[in-house]
């Protein structure tokens, strides 16, 4: 029995599809939502979302946000979300390299914080892209 998943970020609707289950990284640990799951509203932490459909498994890299589960629908409201198929590994590797360079230069606090965020996002996207290739 399939149910609906909607993933939204401030810049775009990331995904809207029928799924069999979804695994989400919440601040209290990973949860897997199955059909007819009890209602939940929780904070989502940055990480990997695993989406299972009748056609297979897909992965999303996600920033923090919220998940709302209601009967036959799961809604993820995220700081950012990117489907593994949309990840350009070359661009991500370049962003990772730039962030590492900034962190090596003893930059000011703001630049360091931004570089750390960029580095963490790059590492997550590379992990998700590699999973797609293996799967």
Cβ contact 69:33 at 8 Å? yes
pLDDT tens track for 104-134? 887 688 888 888 888 888 888 888 888 776 6
pLDDT of residue 71: 81
pLDDT of residue 75: 97
pLDDT of residue 74: 97
Residues of the chain with pLDDT under 50: none
Considering the segment(s) 3-84 as one domain, its CATH architecture is Sandwich (2.60)
pTM attached to this predicted model: 0.84
Query: Any idea which residue has 């029995």 for tokens?
Result: 1
* Token pair recorded at residue 124: 């997550």
Q: Tell me the domain boundaries of the chain.
A: 3-84, 87-134
Helix H or strand E segment including 99? helix 89-104
pLDDT of residue 134: 65
CA atoms within 13 A of residue 72's CA, in its CB half-sphere: 4
């Amino acid at each position: 029995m399939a149910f609906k998943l909607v993933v939204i970020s401030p810049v775009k609707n990331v995904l809207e599809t029928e799924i069999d289950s979804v695994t989400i990284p919440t601040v209290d640990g990973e949860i897997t939502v199955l059909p007819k799951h009890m209602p939940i509203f929780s904070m989502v932490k940055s990480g990997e979302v695993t989406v299972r459909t009748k056609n297979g498994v897909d992965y999303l890299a996600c920033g923090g946000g919220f998940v709302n589960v209601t009967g036959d629908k799961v809604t993820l409201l995220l700081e950012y979300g990117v489907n593994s198929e949309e990840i350009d590994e070359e661009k991500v590797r370049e962003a990772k390299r730039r962030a590492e360079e900034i962190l090596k230069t003893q930059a000011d606090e703001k630049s360091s914080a931004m570089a750390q965020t960029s580095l963490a996002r790059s590492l997550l996207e590379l992990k998700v892209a590699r999973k797609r290739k293996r799967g």
